[in-house]
Each structure stands twice: as C-alpha cells, then as structure tokens.
Chains A and B, each alone.
Chain A
Amino acid sequence: MSELIVPALLETLYMVFFSTIFSLIIGLPLGILLVITEKGGIWEKSMLNQTLSGIINVLRSFPFIILMILLFPLSRLIVGSTIGTKATIVPLSIAAAPFVARIIESALKEVDRGVVEASLSMGATIPQIVFKVLIPESMPSLVMGITLTIINLIGYSAMAGAIGGGGLGDLAIRYGLYRFQTDIMIVSVTIIIVLVQGIQLIGNKIAVSINKK
C-alpha cells in the first residue's frame, strides 16, 4: 500500500506547499492594500478599496470546483497542462488568494490605531508603517491566518484530486470510493487528519511563542 500512499502524500505536500506560497504572494499585498486604503487608513483610496473588495468577494463566492475548471486556460498558459499536480497549483493559489487577502486584512486591522498614530507622529512613511509596524505587530494573528490557509489548501487539494490533480484526495476517491478499497480510503483520510492536526498544532505553538502582548 505504501507504494501508493507515499507518492500521493508527497504530491499533496508539494501542491499545498507551493499553492500556500503563491496564494500568499498574491494575497498579502491585497490584504495590505485593503487595510491602508480603507476609510481612515494611512493611504485612503475609497475607489480602489471598494473595487478590490468587490473582486475579492466575487472570487470567494465561486465554488472551488467551478473556479478550477474556469481557470484551466490559465493553467495551460502557465504550466502548459491542465491536469497533474503542477497544473493544480494555479487554481489552488488563485482560489486561496482572496481568502488570504481577507485573513491578512483582519489580522492587520487588529493593530492598535494608536500605535499607527504614534508612528505617524514620528514621521514614518507608509511603507515603514506597513513593514515595521503593521506586520510585526500582527504577527501572531498572521501566523494563525496562514495556518488556517494551509489547512484550507489541504482540503482544496483533496478536491483538486477529483479533476486529475493527484495527491491523497485523489487516492481516496480512486481506490477508496471507485474500487471499494476501504483500507486505502481510511489510510488516506487518516493521513490528512494527522496533517491538519499537526499543522494546527505547530501554528498555535508559533503564534503563542511570538506573542508578546
């Protein structure tokens, strides 16, 4: 069984790792923009804020499976294929990015307005406030948010298996469901549970250890 499980696990880890990185690359700047451009923010731009917020809401409304199919052309453009683990990273990253943006937004919003004001009174620039105040001050919440994103992506990646993405979800469906090999189903699901538990545990530990509040 392990000759099936091990490659599938590696595929899952590969998908989740890279889609986490890419969704952060897209989502982090969006989340920052949402916070600084809002009313009363340090770079107030109402139009931009509302447009961004609208786009994010639309993207988040799509069921993941539909979004994935819609993004097939983009996958082909970027990785040259629509199936396989690599191709799945594209829709996974894009599906998770708006979620990441909202998570980052809510984490940054927790930063005390007074601290931002104090930084302004010291003559800090907008980038200085973002990178030296907002992000370090909200680090524990950001870590919790990223943990949540990884766990969500494990779930999404299992679904992605259904359309040729590979990984543990794919294994559970192909062997467990279609071929009635319940043992493989149980093992795959158990591994996913262990992954989720482990990541949550590590996330909590890190968040607590960096929280100085």
Chain B
Amino acid sequence: MLIRVENLSKVYKNNNEEVYALKNINLEINSGEIFGIIGLSGAGKSTLIRCLNRLEEPTEGKIFIDDTEITNLNKKDLRNIRSEIGMIFQHFNLLSSKNVYENIAFPLELEGKNKKEINERVKTLLRYVDLEDKKLSYPSQLSGGQKQRVAIARALANNPKLLLSDEGTSALDPKTTKSILQLLNRIRKEFGLTIVLITHQMEVIKDICDRVAIIENGEIIELDTVEEVFANPKTKTASEFVSNLKTNIEEEIKYEKKPESKLVRLGFLGENSKKPIVSNMIKNFDIDVNILSGNINELMTTSIGNLTVELLGKDEEIDRAIQWLTKENIRLEVI
C-alpha cells in the first residue's frame, strides 16, 4: 500500500462557525493504481488532494505515504517529500516567463542539479511528451493540451512515485482530454507510478481509473472498483454520475406499459457482455423481446453494457425469464 489516510478532517472557521470541508476521510490507495476521486464542485475533493502534499493543512487525522507520516513532517522534510510527488493542475500553472525547456528544468533547478544533468533529463522528458519542437516556445504560444503535457513533464522531472492531478483535464476539450489521459496511463504503465486524480467528469474515471471514491459534502459516500460503481452504483450521487454517461436512459420512461409486458433494464459486466444473453432468452422462454435502448461503456479493464428491453409474453414466462437472467449474473431492474 502506498497511501493511507486516517480520519482526515479539515475545518474552516467562518465567523466563528465551523465548516467541514472534509469529514473523517479514510482511504487506502495501492501502489501503481490510478485512483479517482469524483464529486461535484464544493464537495471537498480539491481540499482532499491538496492535503496529500499538505498544500492544505489538515485539521485532524493522519496521512501516510509509504510509511512516512506526511502530517507529522517538519517544513524541511515536507519540502523534500514534496519534490518526490508530482502534481498537475487544471490551469497548468506554468511559469509564463520561462519557455518550455526552462519550465521542465525548473524543479530540477530547485533541487540544485547541475546543468548537464538538467539538460539530459529535460531532453528525455521532452521526447517522452512529444514536445521536442516546442522547447523554445513560451506557454502563451501553446495549446491547452500542449501546456498540460509540459506540466506533466515538469511533474515527472524528479522521478516521482506519486502523481497528483487536480482536475488536470477539466480545462481541456474532449479530444485533448483523451490524449492526456492516454499519456497518464502510459506513464503509470511504464514508470509504475501511482496516480491520484480528482475530477468532476465521469469519463475520466471511466477511461483510466482502477478504483474511484465518490465524495459529497466532505465525506466519501462510495468507494469501490470502477466496474462495481458503474455496474452497481449504491448511492444516488453515484448513479447520477454513471447515468450522465448513459445515453437515452431517460427516454425509456416515455414508453407506455402494455399489458402482458415488463420493462427491464439489464446490466452486463465483463464476460457477460460478450454472451448472447438475449438470443438465449428468446430461445429458452416463450417470450418476445423488444429492445428499447442500449449502450456499452468501455472501462479501463472491462466493458459494461446496459440494455433496456421490453419483455412480452405471459406473466409466468416473463418471471421465469427474469429468474434465469438473475442466475446468469445479469444485473436486472424491473421498471
């Protein structure tokens, strides 16, 4: 395990009134995993990720990174550990007076590395993020995606074992977001980096995260693998985030219920999404199946299918079909 957060709370005093930005957070993040924290704005996710490198001072609780108690470090040790944690931001936060090369060199310069070392490292990083031709450009001359790639290269300069992303793709268009996420995924694979990211976009969670925590009003209300949260969201907020990704889901409500029929929403996870479930159902039971809507979401490791169907036939046949579906491990919801 790489990161352990114990009973973390953050309280702001506002005119003698105490406001909890974070309330009793407990988390474990594994080494090499991409861990997502999702929540609406004001939920406390930004405070949480800032507590991990103490850009924000926690009020209560402990944070351990690889058995070092972050919450207990003096200023000097904190600075040392910060240089081993990379961080990227929503608005990139590049130095506008420095060009691409100098921006990537900046953390190395802070560490007091010599010119030759810096030059070699920066060249490697420029090649890695594919910006060799832009090394003399200033941030104002770059696109959003290029700026974030510079920021990622800068975050990687000191060979961190942990990368924090504070809404790293929120200011980017969907296509650029995808390419940045691919880059993050590649970094994780090639350097074995642990990545903690916060976002309000479920697409980000879906595309690269292994596990996700959903945060609301400063508390973690749901924490599980991405597959599980997608297939089986337990809280209202979670299902809202998930359903934002599903298309046409609202339209099914418009279908009128006919006699001798049932509207059923089916969820397929992993292996199940590859089986011919519907066709088997029609063959085995004396019913008709009318497909109303469906989609498949590709996750990092697996895919999740959602299908809304109308089952037509005698009640007992439909019930038998439903029982069979349950036995086949299909998530099922009668509407």
Contacts and interface: CB of A to CB of B under 8 A. Distances in A.
Interface of A: 112, 114-115, 117-125, 128, 132-133, 136-137, 139, 210, 212-213
A136 B102 CA distance: 12
Interface in B6-61: 53, 55
A120 B82 contact: yes
Given A114-B89, A120-B55, A128-B110, 14 more contacts: A112-B93, A114-B91, A115-B94, A115-B96, A118-B93, A119-B106, A119-B110, A121-B55, A122-B87, A122-B154, A125-B79, A132-B110, A137-B97, A212-B98
A117 B92 CA distance: 11
B82 A139 contact: no
B97 A122 contact: no
A117 B111 CA distance: 17
A137 B53 CA distance: 24
Nearest to A115: B93
A213 B93 contact: no
A122 B106 contact: yes
A114 B97 contact: no
Nearest to B108: A122
Contact of A213 (B91, B109, B140): B140
A139 B94 CA distance: 16
Contact of B97 (A120, A128, A136): A136
* Residue of A118, A119, A125, A133 most packed against chain B (CB within 10 A): A118
A58 to B, nearest CB: 31
A213 B97 CA distance: 7
B53 A121 contact: yes
A212 B107 contact: no
Given A112-B93, A114-B91, A213-B140, A122 B98 contact: no
A114 B154 CA distance: 15
B55 A212 contact: no
Nearest to A138: B97
B82 A122 contact: yes
B85 interface: yes
Contacts of B79: 123-125
Contacts of A118: 87, 89, 93-94, 151
By Cβ-Cβ distance, the 8 closest A-B pairs, closest first, are A123-B83, A118-B93, A123-B82, A114-B93, A123-B79, A121-B87, A212-B138, A122-B107
B95 interface: yes
A29 B59 CA distance: 33
Contacts of B98: 136, 212
B89 A122 contact: no
A122 B85 CA distance: 7
A123 B55 CA distance: 10
B232 interface: no
Contacts of B93: 112, 114-115, 117-118
A213 B87 CA distance: 23
A117 B95 CA distance: 11
Contacts of A114: 89, 91, 93
B97 A121 contact: no
Nearest to A136: B97
B80 interface: yes
A5 to B, nearest CB: 41
Contacts of A125: 79
25 contacts: A112-B93, A114-B91, A117-B89, A118-B94, A120-B82, A121-B53, A121-B55, A121-B87, A122-B87, A122-B107, A122-B110, A122-B154, A122-B158, A123-B81, A123-B83, A125-B79, A128-B110, A136-B97, A137-B95, A137-B96, A139-B97, A212-B96, A212-B99, A213-B96, A213-B140
Interface string B102-126: 0000110111000000000000000
A24 B203 CA distance: 52
Contacts of A137: 95-97
A117 B55 contact: yes
Contact of B83 (A117, A122, A132, A210): A122
A136 B109 CA distance: 15
A124 B95 CA distance: 14
Contacts of B151: 118
Contacts of B139: 212
A125 B83 CA distance: 11
Contacts of A124: 79, 110
A108 to B, nearest CB: 13
A139 B151 CA distance: 22
A196 to B, nearest CB: 28
A139 B53 CA distance: 30
Contacts of B97: 136-137, 139, 210, 212
Contacts of B83: 122-123
A120 B53 CA distance: 10
